Amino acid sequence: MLRLNTRDPGFAAAFARLVADRRETDVSVARDVSIIIEDVRRRGDAALAELTLRHDQYALASDADWSIGAEQCREAFDALKPDLRAALELAAQRIRAFHVKQLPKNRDETDDAGVRLGSRWRAVDAAGLYVPGGRAAYPSSLLMNAIPAKVAGVERLVVATPSPSGQINPLVLAAAHLAGVDELWRVGGAQAVAALAYGTDRIAAVDVITGPGNAWVAEAKRQLFGVVGIDMVAGPSEILLIADGQTDPEWAAADLLSQAEHDPAAQSILITDDPLFADSVADRIGVELAMLPSARVASESWNTHGVIIEVASLNEAPALANALAAEHVQLSVEKPEKLFKQIRHAGSVFLGRLTPEAVGDYVAGPNHVLPTGRRARFSSGLSVLDFMKRTSFIQLDEAALKAIGPAAIQLAEAEGLPAHARSIEVRLGI
């Protein structure tokens, strides 16, 4: 765990190294993914079967081995314990309610020149959702991806998820039923992303691929962007906790470890103005790790990538937060609004001591698929708009063409494009 202090002479250089540390795909992963993509593009289902057997120890032999039907998903949902089923339904309801309000409005208007213009929003025809199934299964991610797609109006919703040794978490199947997934394929990794992008004999291609995954999945999405649309290139999870000395160290430690347990490459950072509080949190993390079933992963993450930054005043924290542009920023202070107003770059912000980031992962409503690796500087979390595209339209009558056409002719001629000018001139009789 790295400990920094803004008062130290070497802080600026050390913080710059922290900001630059992306913890993401290396050259070997990019090379391997490129080979996998080309193999799936050329050999389709045969490549998928070979790679699934090699990486997941699961044989895609008969038709029944490849996919899971709607009836099996419904049975998994019905078999849930009542409390768990109610929790899943609450999450779905809140996610849907939040994302319905993101639906954009069409525009259709006529301006002063008599030109009709506007834009029309439509959903993509098909979306592919990647749901991890290796280190942990995430039914919450399925809901967070599938529900915005359904709200957008996507007609064909396809899930790809690995099934190590043939096993898929029943809660993932239950979430697929609740979200209205149309197809669920037992393939994972970069090969699944390639299959969704190019299509195979069994799996028809999609228009957009969303959802988190490991380094190979993220790299496959990066390489295939342009063949299909993607939500983002997601890296290891991050949390930045800004806390004063009045925060309970036990709460702070639990918050930091909530992201550390995702992945050994995940990063948890604490910024505080209280050195004694920083000491208490560091000590408490050891206690929490001793109780966590996920301690091996969380401990590696904290010991390798964890950071505590001491500041002279929390007034310094927003500038540091904006430089880090973290996936999750948690403001554990009495009056978070002042700091919140100064946070320009963050995937999602959690306000106050009683708002742990983990609530946002499940039942708050806003999407938990968020930009990592400082991408919050220029991108946003998953939304309904990731499954939609906007088409503009224009309509002119004779009067409107006379009003604005001559200016277009002048600009076309100035750009050396006489055919552009001619297509307007012939309509104006020039």
Q: Where are the alpha helices (DSSP H) in 44-130?
A: 45-56, 63-66, 70-78, 82-100
Sign of CA dihedral 414, 418, 424, 428: positive
CA 359 – CA 364 distance, rounded (Å): 6
User: Taking the C-alpha atoms of 161, 165, 171 and 176 in order, what is their torsion angle to the nearest 10 degrees?
Assistant: 30
d(CA 312, CA 295): 32
The catalytically annotated residue of 327, 345, 357, 368 is 327
- 327 catalytic? Reply is yes
**Long-range contacts for 223-232 (Cβ within 8 Å, ≥24 apart)?**
223/30, 223/33, 223/34, 223/37, 224/37, 224/193, 224/194, 224/197, 227/197, 227/198, 228/128, 228/196, 228/197, 229/124, 229/386, 231/369, 231/382, 231/386, 232/369, 232/371, 232/375, 232/379, 232/382
What single-letter DSSP state applies at residue 103?
P
**Long-range contacts of 406-410, Cβ-Cβ distance < 8 Å, separation of 24 or more:** none
- The single-letter code of the amino acid at 104 is P
Query: Active-site residue 328, yes or no?
Result: yes
Structural contact between residues 310 and 5, judged by C-beta atoms closer than 8 angstroms: yes
Instruction: Please name the amino acid found at residue 143.
Output: L
Q: Which of 99, 328, 345, 368 is catalytic?
A: 328
Find all residues with CB under 8 Å of 169, minimum gap 6, and list them.
133, 137, 139
Tokens encoding 163? 């099934």
Q: Give me the active site residues, please.
A: 327-328
